[in-house]
Structure 1
Amino acid sequence: MRIPFISDALYHRKLRRQLINTAHHDYFRMLAENSALGDEVEQLREERLMLLREGRIRAFEAQDITVAAMNFAAALTESDRAYTAAVHLSCVEVDRLATLLVAVGRSDVALRWLETHSLGDNDEDDLHKNADPVDLEMYLLGLAA
């Protein structure tokens, strides 16, 4: 004999138990996978350290980063197309780019990026809106400090 209320309650209880069991199974499976990935990452770190010690690979040094930054700065000066991107960047983005350019000795390029960017600043609260080149030079000195 089927009693609708009790039969439905038992059916829902069975479904709930199955759902909980499935969730527990999936949870513990994911924990095991995460642990395996953690072990794999640790093994890769150990292999990298071994290769570093053997001299088969080398770590990045400050001079490598400086050379990469200088190459990046050179790429930013090679065409006028690069400067057209300046109007699409935020003030903070252009400031950070200008700081990088100054750090690698390209203040002239940094100033050009700031000047080009200022042409596209059209909000009242923009930092570089219609800035005078002399003001931008002083601003650039402040960024470099």
Structure 2
Amino acid sequence: MDIKTFADLIDWTRQLHDHLAKCLSHGAEKHRQEGAKLLLEYLSDHEAKIAKMVESFEEKADTKAMHTYVYDYLSHKPIDISESCNMAFESLDYDSICMEVFNFHEQVMDLYRTLMGKAETNAVRELLESLLAMEKHEAMRLASQTGRMHDL
């Protein structure tokens, strides 16, 4: 996807979460371990919900901020979700699955932090702060829930 504006960036982020949800679901269908299968199903559902949350940013964000060009995106290391999907979640153990998903969220948060530090307007900075806060909250929620599931 060619990312030129913050609207493109947010749509791309939504697509990443949606794609990860599908990869996790695919892994759940084929995984042999019941605990890992349940984890993958939970993570898939959660990623789909995050995609919907990101979509709501697309609908509610400040129009000027959304049409602002993202100049520094290309200098940031792009997030490649296809690498995670190619590794076949169905063959990973519980901890490795968690590590991959948390790594994905950390990359998204790092992107937002980098762009936030270079934001030229308050509207863009506020948009990125909101996106970062949502990602942080959801990552913490995932960590808490996956920890509880692992304890069971």
TM-score norm. by structure 1 comes to 0.28
Choose 1 or 2 for highest CA Rg.
1
Q: Which has the higher contact order (CA 8 A, sep 6+)?
A: 2
TM-score norm. by structure 2 comes to 0.27
